[in-house]
Chain A
C-alpha cells in the first residue's frame, strides 16, 4: 500500500482537490467549477446553512484537512456567517494549498467559475506530480455504516464486515462503527466489551441519550423499507447493525470529527448533546459517512440490503450487499455479494473478501461507486459537547 504523506504525518489513499461551498448560495458555482474536473479528482463538499454552527465549522476543518485531500478551494458568496477566514487559516496551517473565491467580489457567477476552474486545474497538475510513500495497515482508518437494512443485514453483510473488522483491528487499523440510535437494545452487551468500566458507562449513556433523543422526535432510526424487508423494531435492526463491530474489545467512544488516537475499535456517538434541536441527528446515510470521514476514515464499508447506490466525496465507499435478491437487481452498484451466505457460502469467506477489498481500495483500486461517479455529500446543523476523559482510555 502507498499513501500521500501530509504535514501532520497522516497519509491519504486518494489525492483530491476539494471545492467547498460555504453556503447553499455558492453551491452552483462550486459544482460548475468541479464539473470539467470530475474525472481528475476534484470534488464538491460544503455546508448549506447561512447561520453559524460550531459543529459545521469543525467538520469542515477536519474534512478540508483529511489525508485524502491535497488542496482546497473555498467558494463563498460573501455575506454568509460561515467563518471562511478561520477555515482558510486551518487549511493553510496544514500545509495544503488553499484559495478563497468570494463571488460577490469576483464579478459574479461566470467569472467566479472561470477563476475557480483555472485554480483547480493548476492544483490537479501539481498534485499529479506528488510522490507516494509506503503506508501500513496500522495507518489506516476505516468506517462502517449500514443503510437500507432488512432481515438479511444481520445474518450476512453485517457479521461479514464484523469479521473483516476483527482482522483490520488485529492488524493495527483504527475501525469506527456507529450509530448509537441503531444500537438501542444492544447497550448492555456492547458495554461488556469496553476496555474499562468507565468507558462501559460512557457507551451505555451514549445509547440511552440516543433513545431519549429519538423518543422526543417520535421516530426511531427506522425507515419504511426496513419493515418491508422484515425488520419489525429498532431493537431488531440494532442487533443486526451491531454485528458490524465484530468481536474486538471496544477501545473508545468518539464524536464526529474526533480522530482515533491509535489503532483499535471505536464507537462513534452521532446523536447531538443537550436538548433536541435542529431535527433528526442524521437525515440520510451520507450524513453518517461524512462524519466517519471527518474522523479520519480513509474509506467506508457500507452494508446495504434494500439497495443503496451511494458513494461519497473524499473517501471511497465499498458497498456490501446483504440481500441476494437485491444483488441480482443491482449488481453494477455492489462491490461484495454477501447475500450468497444464505445459499451456503461460509461467512468467513465473505469476511476475507471484504478485508482483501479494503486493502485493495486503500491501495488505489476503484470501487463501483467511484467508477459510477458517485460523490455524495451532506452536512447539516448539530451541537456536541466534547468527549470526556473516560471515552479514550490510554
Chain B
C-alpha cells in the first residue's frame, strides 16, 4: 500500500457502521483506522467527512453511529468519499452550495 497521507485518522463510531469519519485531512492514499487496520482512501477527504469502510451497493443503507443516515444512490467502493454525490436522505432532500459541498475548500 502507498504511504499514509494527511494527518487525520479514520474513526469507527459503531461496530455496525459501513462508513468511517476523518479526524483530519486524509487521502489520497492510505489512512489508519482508529481501531486498527488501514483503508486506501481514493481522494482527498477533509475533517468530519465520511469514507466507505467497505463496498456499499446502490440502495443500501449508509450506517453511522449504528443507525441508518440515508441510502447509497450508486455503488460505492471501499475507500471512497461518501457524501451528497453518492448518498441521499430517506427523509428530506439536502440543500448544498456546489462551491462548498466537497469540503476541500
Q: Which residues of A contact B (CB under 8 A)?
A: 150-152, 154-155, 184-186, 189, 211, 214-215, 218-220, 222-225, 227-236, 239, 305, 323-325, 342-343
Complex: A228 Cα to B95 Cα, angstroms: 11
CB pair A233–B46 under 8 Å, yes or no, is no
Q: A151-B48, A185-B69 are in contact. Are A235 and B101 (CB under 8 A)?
A: no
Q: Which residues of A contact B82 (CB under 8 A)?
A: 232
Given contacts A236-B64, A239-B67, contact A230 B49 (CB under 8 A): yes
Taking a contact as CB atoms under 8 Å apart, the answer to whether A189 and B67 are in contact is yes
> Are A233 and B49 neighbours in the complex by a CB distance under 8 Å?
no
Pair count A-B, CB < 8 A: 122
Chain B residue numbers with a CB within 8 Å of A234 are 89, 91-92, 94
Contact between B21 and A220, CB atoms less than 8 A apart: no
Given A151-B49, A234-B89, does the pair A342, B100 have CB atoms closer than 8 Å?
A: no
Q: Mark B25-56, 1 if CB is under 8 A from A, else 0.
A: 00000000000000000000011111000000
Compute how far the CA of A227 lies from the CA of B70 in the bound complex, rounded to whole angstroms. Answer: 14
- Chain A residue nearest in CB terms to B7: A343
Given the complex, which residues of B lie within 8 Å of A223, measured CB to CB?
95
Inter-chain CA distance A235–B68, complex, in Å, is: 8
Which residue from chain A places its CB closest to the CB of B83 in the assembled complex? A232
Chain A residue numbers with a CB within 8 Å of B23 are 342-343
Interface presence of B24 (CB below 8 A)? yes
The answer on a CB contact under 8 Å between A230 and B46 is yes
User: Judging by beta carbons under 8 Å apart, are A233 and B65 in contact?
Assistant: no
Interface residue from A152, A228, A239, A343 paired with B100 (Cβ < 8 Å): A228
Q: Which residue of A lies closest to B97 (CB)?
A: A224
Decide: A239 and B47 in contact? CB cutoff 8 A: no
B91 touches A184 (CB 8 A): yes
Near A by CB (< 8 A), chain B positions 57-105 give 62, 64-65, 67-70, 82-84, 87-97, 100-103, 105
Q: Once the chains bind, are A155 and B13 in contact (CB under 8 Å)?
A: yes
Contacts of A151 in B (CB 8 A): 21-22, 47-50
A224 cross-chain contacts in B, Cβ below 8 A:
95-97, 100-101
In the complex, 29 of the A-B residue pairs with CB atoms within 8 angstroms, ordered by the A residue number, are A150-B48, A151-B47, A151-B49, A185-B69, A189-B67, A211-B91, A211-B92, A219-B92, A219-B95, A220-B89, A220-B91, A220-B92, A220-B95, A227-B96, A228-B102, A229-B103, A230-B22, A230-B46, A230-B49, A232-B94, A233-B70, A233-B88, A234-B94, A235-B90, A236-B70, A239-B64, A324-B47, A342-B23, A343-B23
Q: CB-nearest residue of chain A relative to B25?
A: A325
User: Are A228 and B101 interface neighbours, CB within 8 A?
Assistant: yes
| Chain B min CB distance to A340 (Å) | 11
Complex Cα distance, B89 from A209, in Å, reads: 17
Ordered nearest first, which 7 A-B pairs have the shortest CB separation?
Answer: A151-B48, A230-B48, A230-B49, A233-B89, A236-B69, A220-B92, A233-B70
Seed contacts A228-B102, A234-B89, A234-B91; 10 additional CB < 8 Å A-B pairs: A215-B92, A225-B100, A227-B83, A227-B100, A228-B103, A230-B22, A230-B47, A233-B94, A235-B91, A325-B47
Residues of A within 8 A of B88 (CB): 232-233
Q: How far is the CB of A75 from chain B (nearest CB, A)?
A: 37
Interface size class of B (residues with CB under 8 A): 35 or more
Assess whether B103 is in contact with A230, with CB atoms less than 8 Å apart: yes
A-side contacts of B68, CB under 8 Å:
185, 235
Residues of the A chain whose Cβ atoms lie less than 8 Å from the Cβ of B89: 220, 232-235
- In the assembly, what is the distance between CA of A139 and CA of B76, in Å? 52
- Could you say which of B50, B62, B90, B91 has the most chain A C-beta atoms within 10 Å of its C-beta? B91
The interface residues of chain A lying within 8 Å CB-to-CB of B49 are 151, 229-230
Determine the residue in chain B with the shortest Cβ distance to A215. Answer: B92
Q: With A220-B94, A236-B64, A239-B64 as given contacts, are A227 and B69 in contact (CB-CB < 8 Å)?
A: no
Q: Which of A155, A222, A227 contacts B11 (CB 8 A)?
A: A155
A361 to B94, CA, bound (A): 37
CB of A218 to closest CB in B, whole Å: 8
Q: How far is the CB of B82 from chain A (nearest CB, A)?
A: 7
Q: How does the 8 Å CB contact mask read for B10-25 relative to A, with 1 for contact and 0 for none? A: 0101000000011110
The docked-state distance in angstroms from the alpha carbon of A185 to that of B88 is 13
B60 to chain A, nearest CB (A): 14
CB-CB under 8 A for A214 and B47, given A224-B97, A239-B65, A342-B24? no
